[in-house]
Structure 1
Amino acid sequence: MSSYQSNEIKLINTSLIDPHPDNPRKNIGDVTDLAASIKTNGLLTPLSVVPNGERYRVIAGHRRLAACKYAGIVAVPCFVLQLGPLQQLEAMVTENCQREQLTVLEEADANVAHRLGRSGDYVRDRVKAASIKTEVRASRDDFGQISIGQLVAIARYDGQPDRQKELAQAAGTSNFDYTLRRIERDDRDRQWVESVAALLGEPDSGINLIPDPEKPYSDPEWRYIGCMFPSTGTPEEAIEKIRELNPAAVSIHTVSQQVYLWTRRDKTADAEKEARRAAEQAERDARRHALEEYAAASADKRMAWLHGHLHGVKRDKLVETTARLGLLQIIDPDPQGYTQALSTWNDKCGVEQFTTISGIEPERALAELRYHLDEPDWAVWAVQILAARIEWFIDPEDWTSTSDISRRIPGYYQILQDLGYTPADDETSHLDQLIAAITEADSDENEEDEENNQ
């Protein structure tokens, strides 16, 4: 057994395993024959992987992983290793050398760190940046001024020039993180749909998988009754939910990244009535999903702007903003709220939003806060704290309700706009709808009070 293996084998869903971004072998080649062999004989040699958050990265077995995905294999046996970044690179070089010679360029990339006396991360980041094609570099005149971190993020989408150009245009602005997160979210949604499609395609799935009807809402055979999308849960949870609903058929819609549910049109009146109720519920679910997407996107945009602009605001304006944000939150919906010590930020009260706005790692946030709140630049930190708490309180439902939180959203936007923030068109539209709903609710409440007083 290699020194880079363990005795423990774990069965892992292929949708949770990613190729390692630092794999020295850039081209895994054609895996058609290997996929056919694995489909016939099974995977004879487990993969070697390392944890990456809630997912995994391949150390040994990139071709086997690609072949398993090509063959529709849902789960594969894996050795789960605990290796540092340099150990991971060394293990991948060793594995490739043992199986098949690396190209001269790949071997040079793996060893250049030692020759330059630089860290492996330093060299790998610059190799990735150097791989960006001329077409993408030409998309802006000051491409060479983009930071190395943003260049690495752009290089990650090699072979997708449109996405690389989109990221390049956002580089150096407060919208870069938002754009990158949106692209990453699109990728996760695509992977989710592909995983669900693979599970539905299993011979024993017991679910009727059909092509999308050409006329989805007027097809003579199928009636639309609902859909599943990534927020439904893991691919496995989505399959279980589909089984519970027991539709006559399902189809995969790759454009919307959803799974559509269908019933036959020759059902009884009761079944049609149930289908209508299901369709209405699906529509409500779709609206909620769209609202969740909007709420996440608008929060990302606001916090990215705060991160990129607060340190450039004059001190007297920050002091004024601190007072306004404090007054906006003086009646705290959380009975404990601000009375809790800052140490509670480890698991609640806005630590994630604060680290996004400030750019400070969560483990350092508390110490930095305690230091700066006693320093001359306290105002910018106070604004970051108070803005983070408001961002933490806002939920998707607050955009359509008249709760204590929703009533603060218009005031929060006014404060941000006074700092220089410019809402996008969709934010303005949602904000106008929210203000109208609050005005209507206040009007109804006043009418009810007048009737009670008569």
Structure 2
Amino acid sequence: MSNYQSNEIKLINTSLIDPHPDNPRKNIGDVTDLAASIKTNGLLTPLSVVPNGERYMVIAGHRRLAACKQAGTGAVPCFILQLDPLQQLEAMVTENCQREQLTVLEEVDAIQGMLDLGATTANVAYRLGRSADYVRDRAKAASIGNEVRAVRDDFSQLTIGQLVAIARYDGRPDLQKRLAQAAGTSNFDYTLSRIERDDRDRQWIESVAALLVESDNGINLIPDPEEPYSDPEWRYAGCMFPSTGTPEEIIEKIREQNPAAVSIHMEQVYLWTRRDKTADAEKEARRAAEQAERDARRHALEEYAAASADKRMAWLHANLHGIKRDKLIETTARLGLLQIIDPDPQGYTLALSTWNDAACGGEQFTTISGIEPERALAELRYHLDEPDWAVWAVQILAARIEWFIDPTDWTTVNDTSRRIPGYYQILQDLGYTPTDDETSHLDQLIAAITEADSDENEEDEENNQ
């Protein structure tokens, strides 16, 4: 305010003074205490106002004006300033920023208002005592439309970093809404990284497509077959995706492999050869027989997995409440560690990201606890604050593991299957007795994990030689 200060002080009736319509601070808050103080001691600091016809508008002192009106104060001392619209907004923004009275979103809109009135980025930065990057970031965030801002009631509480990330996708409100909904949660960074990855993939495929349509590249670009694995003319011969290389490298690799044709399928480039229909018929017959055998095995495995899960959860439901508290506390820690600490170097990120899904393990928790689904969450929250919290903690942690286990995890070495032996060991320590069928499947899984680890160790040794 110092550059816009005036020595002219005048007593003006509060009935002639209006709040400034462009005041950056949209919510002046409760002024009851301030009104009581003014009623007792009077207004100690003059308002700063600008003429507005026969009335005046506040530049500095919106809260004091509201408090004076609430206190029934008549005339109040005011500095009379002569400012154009840009100077008025600069003065209000400067005052509020110096007192840290604006939310980030209010500051964002105020700075954009200054720029709209003709101020330069450098001038705004100078007036606020901030860097040019500080001003540019807020100008970017100001582009976020009301449709996106309305996604959540507390949108004004988002950080400038979150607002800039949302503003980056200007013109794509669907993505902006996803980010706005995730802001302030543990999912924000994950959501942003997925959107950034998808955006990079989209840009990559657009660049590849632009190179493929060039007439002199010698590559036969065809429409993507509707049924890529059973097209009567083309046989699928592989694909290339963003991690394969840059768009220019992809074109060179396609020339090296010299496929009969290529097509664009989502964010991938499919390679095609011509079909040999006689050989294809024989292969198709073999494939059908193999698929039938796989389907039969999968059906049997699904039946086993479902029966095994039912047996485990029925045992947990029937026995957990009879186990001693110290054993349950130990089990809580072991189940938690089993889910958090990963025996696989690749990590458990994809699995952990689903924990924000409200349905994650809900059905299994209902089965184990015996509580109706509509009451389960309320009961859980209540009991976790009670002395019997341990049995409820075991139930929810076991339910999460049960939720993750799919039939294929019994035959494939992956993040989840590596946890199954440890989960069974915990259950057995609680008193659970696996059937002979479970023990057989468990032995086969452990053997597969051991073999996979051995192969990985041998590969590491060869790479280190």
Name the stretch that deviates more: 424-433 or 358-367: 358-367
- Inter-CA distance 350–248: structure 2 relative to 1 (3 Å threshold): farther
**CA separation of 1:189/1:448 partners in 2, compared to 1, >3 Å: closer, same or farther?**
closer
Shift of 1:112: 2.1
State the alpha-carbon separation in 1 of the partners of residues 33 and 283 from structure 2.
50
Which is further off, 128-137 or 24-33?
A: 24-33
2:451 match: 440
Per-residue deviation, 1:194: 1.3
Q: Aligned partners of 2:213, 2:73: CA distance in 1, in Å?
A: 10
Give deviations 1:200-224, integer Å, cap 9, x for gaps.
2233322111122344344443233
State the shift of 1:282 in Å. Answer: 21
Which has the larger displacement, 41-50 or 325-334? Answer: 41-50
Greater shift in the superposed pair: 355-364 or 163-172: 355-364
Q: Secondary structure at the match of 1:440?
A: helix
Shift of residue 371, structure 1, vs aligned partner: 38
Deviation at 1:339, TM superposition (A): 25
Q: Deviations over 1:366-392 (max 9, x none)?
A: 999999999999999999999999999
**Is contact 1:175-1:305 (8 Å) kept?**
no
TM-superposed CA distance for 1:343, in Å, is 29
In structure 2, the partner of 1:52 is 52
Q: What is the CA–CA distance in structure 1 between the aligned matches of 2:54 and 2:301, rounded to whole Å? A: 26
User: How many angstroms apart in 2 are the aligned matches of 1:208 and 1:63?
Assistant: 71
TM-superposed CA distance for 1:183, in Å, is: 0.5
Query: Which residue in the other structure is 1:180 paired with?
Result: 192
Runs of 4+ in 1 over 3 A off after TM superposition: 1-111, 214-220, 266-347, 349-454
Distance 1:453 1:441 in 2: 18
Contact conserved, 1:307 with 1:357, CA < 8 A, in 2? yes
Q: Determine helix, strand or coil for the equivalent of 2:255.
A: helix
How far does residue 152 in structure 1 lie from its aligned partner after superposition?
A: 0.8
Which region of structure 1 is more displaced relative to structure 2, 50-59 or 244-253? 50-59
In the other structure, the counterpart of 2:115 is none
| C-alpha displacement of 1:321 | 12
Provide, for residues 119-151 of structure 1, a one-character-per-residue CA deviation record: whole Å limited to 9, x for no partner.
122212221222100000011111111111111
Q: CA, structure 1 residues 202+119, in 2 after alignment: closer, same or farther (shift >3 Å)?
A: same
User: 1:215-257: CA deviations, max 9, x gaps?
Assistant: 434444323332222222322333233233321100112xxx1
Q: Which moved more, 1:22-31 or 1:221-230?
A: 22-31
Cα distance in 2 for residues equivalent to 1:250 and 1:74? 82
Distance 1:31 1:180 in 2: 40
Corresponding residue for residue 357 of structure 1: 368
Q: 1:445 to 1:174 in 2, by over 3 A?
A: closer
> Equivalents in 2 of 1:12, 1:277: separation in Å?
92
Alpha-carbon distance change, 82 to 302 in structure 1, aligned in 2, over 3 angstroms = farther
Task: Identify the range of structure 1 (32-41 vs 79-88) with the bigger mean alpha-carbon deviation.
Answer: 32-41
Alpha-carbon distance between aligned partners in 2 of 1:304 and 1:87, rounded to the nearest angstrom: 73
Range with greater deviation from structure 2 (380-389 or 390-399): 380-389
Q: Provide the rounded CA distance (Å) in 2 between the counterparts of 1:301 and 1:56.
A: 79
Distance 1:344 1:317, change over 3 A: same
* Structure 2: gaps (5+ residues): 111-122
Greater length-normalized contact order (CA 8 Å, ≥ 6 residues apart): 1
Answer whether contact 1:129 1:155 (CA < 8 A) is retained: yes
281 and 94 in structure 1: CA distance in 2 versus 1, 3 angstrom threshold: farther
Of stretches 353-362 and 331-340 in structure 1, the one that deviates more from structure 2 is 353-362
Mapped to 1, the partners of 2:71 and 2:283 lie a distance apart of: 40
* Contact 1:342–1:366 (CA under 8 A) maintained in structure 2: no
Deviation at 1:173, TM superposition (A): 0.4
Q: Residue 196 and residue 5 in structure 1: after superposition, are their counterparts in 2 closer, same or farther (change >3 A)? A: farther
Change (3 A) 1:191 1:337: closer
CA distance in 1, matches of 2:131, 2:426: 44
Deviations for 1:37-72, whole angstroms, at most 9, x for unmatched residues? 999999999999999999999999999999999999
Offset of residue 285 of structure 1: 21
CA drift of 1:280 comes to: 13
Distance 1:344 1:260 in 2: 31
Task: Return the alpha-carbon distance in structure 2 between the equivalents of residues 14 and 304 of structure 1.
Answer: 74
- Distance change (3 Å), C-alpha of 1:79 and 1:185: farther
The answer as to whether partners of 1:328 and 1:411 remain within 8 angstroms in 2 is yes
**CA RMSD in angstroms, aligned pairs only:** 22.2
**Structure 1 146/118 Cα, relative in aligned 2: closer, same or farther at 3 Å?**
same
- Contact kept, 8 Å, 2:48 with 2:61, in 1: the verdict is yes
SS of equivalent to 2:4:
coil
Q: Aligned to 1:12, what secondary structure does the other structure show? A: strand
Q: 1:267 to 1:245 in 2, by over 3 A?
A: farther
- Contact 1:213–1:219 (Cα < 8 Å) also in 2: yes
Distance 1:388 1:294, change over 3 A: same
Any idea what the Cα deviations from partners look like across 1:371-424, whole Å, max 9, x if unmatched? 999999999999999999999999999998659997368869999999999999
SS at match of 2:243: helix
Tell me by how many angstroms 1:169 deviates. 0.6
**How far apart are 1:450 and its partner, in Å?**
31
CA contact (8 A) 2:260 2:273 kept: yes
Distance 1:40 1:278 in 2: 92
Whether the aligned pair in 2 keeps the contact of 1:225 and 1:279 (CA below 8 Å) is no
The answer to whether the Cα contact below 8 Å between 1:333 and 1:405 also exists between their aligned partners in 2 is no
The unaligned stretches of length 5 or more in structure 1 are: none
Greater Cα shift, 44-53 or 142-151: 44-53
Q: What secondary structure does 1:125 align onto?
A: helix
Match of 1:287 in 2: 297
Verify: 1:372 aligned to 2:383, yes or no.
Answer: yes
Residue deviations 1:259-295 (CA, integer Å, cap 9, x gap): 1122223577499979999999999999999999999
TM-score of the aligned structures, taking structure 1 as reference length: 0.41
Between Structure 1 and Structure 2, whose CA radius of gyration is higher? Answer: 2
More displaced, 368-377 or 227-236?
368-377
Mean CA deviation greater in 157-166 or 48-57: 48-57
C-alpha separation in 1, matches of 2:231 and 2:395: 53
Cα distance in 1 between the residues matched to 2:457 and 2:433: 33
Cα distance in 2 for partners of 1:307, 1:229 equals 47
Q: Is the Cα contact below 8 Å between 2:108 and 2:139 reproduced in 1?
A: no
Aligned in 2, Cα 1:230/1:118: closer, same or farther, shift over 3 Å? Answer: same
Asked whether the 8 Å contact 1:34–1:64 carries over to 2, the reply is: yes
